Amino acid sequence: MPHTIAHIDMDAFFAAVEQRDDPSLKGKPVVIGSDPKGGKGRGVVSTCSYEARKFGVHSAQPISTAYRLCPHAVYLPVDGAKYKQASDEIFSILYDFTPDIEPISIDEAFLDITGSYHFYKTPYATCQKIKEEIQKKVNLTASIGIAPVKMVAKIASDLCKPDGLLEVKPGEILEFLAPLPIRRLWGVGPKTQQVFDAMGIRKIGELAQIPLAKLVKLFGESGKHLYDLSHGIDERQVSVDEDVRSVSHEHTFDTDTGQVDEIHDVLLHLSEKVSRRLRKYELKGKTLSIKIRLKGFKTYTRAFTFPEKTNYVDDIYKKAKELFDEFYKKDMKFRLVGVRVSNFEDLYVHDSLFEEEKSNNRVEKLHKAMDVIKDKFGEESIHRGM
């Protein structure tokens, strides 16, 4: 069956987070990495804004070179915790679209949207929505490539950067690849490149003309691989990490709010969604955390660890509300709240083997019954009176 794969990669990720949090940096060259110490610094550039790239600055470059090329850039150290936070928020949005995700790095992932794009009708509309959600909730831009195979999706996202969206449909792959330099293919390193240079082969389309037997003679086993890739054949599937580490839901208010009642209602709703998703995956967690974003983009999390792991909405909501109330101070205005359960000690399935009686108790039956109703009639159909 043909797959529809999306490759998402955030634009100038570390630098974009810094520009988001300090608007005075917007539109300016920003370099993230070691301290340049007036050109004498050691170490390298982690990344830089697109404005700095115009001067030839790039990732992994010695910071002294960057300083020589662009002394007037704003130089900032790497703030790992901050980027991790943004990354977690982005991934949690992605998981709202599909569970079929292969995270590649802090700012990059493959999504297999074959089974999920129908909700927004087309792959393109789905990815547009993903970009919008990231923009709205995390205030950052992403680029997404869509294709039937991973390699082509990745090339497409690279080519449409920044803030791009590019779809290569099944019948368009050869045409799409043909004019690109062969180094775009996975597995073409400097050595392979040299051989092709000597043969006068520069573009993927030219490589695709070479008969398979000749490529195998030149490169052995990897000749077959090059042949396949140049024809857009790539069997690699999106490899989904089955080890779910947390379940969370968030809500962004249409306008920043200071209404405590309204926020409690939202926390209840989010707790119900989290509880339901945990039960769907037969998981229980020990740690409950809430996320709070105030007016502007200052974000806080507060966490609590239960004595026993749980997936009950009563436990989750009660604690979420308590954590929120502890945090709340008069005149605060809230942009977003989120509820997360993590720290899954072991699968619920396992403990149900040993605690059959417990898992058959009334509370669980009630939850299961509510899930059936919600699966049928939607999330809004039933609520607990609390």
- Give catalytic residues, as residue numbers: 108
81 binds ligand TTP (CB under 6 A): no
Nearer to Mg ion, 18 or 315 (CB): 18
- Residue 335's nearest CA partner among 108, 143, 94, 89 is 89
**Gap between the Cα atoms of 210 and 156, Å rounded:** 24
**Gap between the Cα atoms of 193 and 205, Å rounded:** 15
167 binds Mg ion (CB under 5 A): no
Specify the DSSP class assigned to residue 62: B
Number of residues that bind Mg ion (CB under 5 A): 4
20 binds ligand TTP (CB under 6 A): no
- Answer yes or no: are the C-beta atoms of 44 and 60 closer than 8 Å: yes
76 binds ligand TTP (CB under 6 A): no
**Gap between the Cα atoms of 34 and 373, Å rounded:** 55
- Residue 297's nearest CA partner among 22, 74, 12, 92 is 22
Which of 28, 68, 82, 161 contacts ligand TTP by CB under 6 A?
161
**Gap between the Cα atoms of 216 and 208, Å rounded:** 13
The interface partner of residue 60, options being Mg ion, ligand TTP, none and the CB cut-off 5 to 8 Å by kind, is ligand TTP
Token look-up 């470059």 returns: 61
Which of 6, 9, 63, 334 contacts Mg ion by CB under 5 A?
9
234 binds ligand TTP (CB under 6 A): no
Q: Which of residues 10-49 bind Mg ion (CB under 5 A)?
A: 10, 13
Nearer to ligand TTP, 82 or 374 (CB): 82
- Answer yes or no: are the C-beta atoms of 256 and 334 closer than 8 Å: yes
Binding part of the chain for ligand TTP, among 106-114, 117-125, 334-342, 354-362 by CB under 6 A, reads 106-114
Q: How far is the CB of 14 from Mg ion (least distance, A)?
A: 9
List the structure tokens of 125: 């509309």
Q: What are phi and psi of 308, to 5 degrees?
A: -125, 145
83 binds Mg ion (CB under 5 A): no
Which of 4, 7, 11, 86 contacts ligand TTP by CB under 6 A?
11
Q: What are phi and psi of 6, to 5 degrees?
A: -115, 140
The CA dihedral of 234, 59, 129, 381, to the nearest 10 degrees, is 100
13 binds ligand TTP (CB under 6 A): yes
List the structure tokens of 108: 């990059």
Q: Which of residues 27-56 bind ligand TTP (CB under 6 A)?
A: 46-47
Q: Which of residues 287-326 bind Mg ion (CB under 5 A)?
A: none
The interface partner of residue 198, options being ligand TTP, Mg ion, none and the CB cut-off 5 to 8 Å by kind, is none
Q: Which of residues 99-118 bind Mg ion (CB under 5 A)?
A: 107
203 binds ligand TTP (CB under 6 A): no
Q: How far is the CB of 212 from ligand TTP (least distance, A)?
A: 33
- Residue 229's nearest CA partner among 249, 264, 205, 248 is 205
Number of residues that bind ligand TTP (CB under 6 A): 15
**Gap between the Cα atoms of 156 and 164, Å rounded:** 9
Binding-site ranges for ligand TTP (CB under 6 A): 9-14, 46-47, 59-60, 106-108, 161-162
- Report the interface residues with Mg ion, using CB under 5 A: 9-10, 13, 107
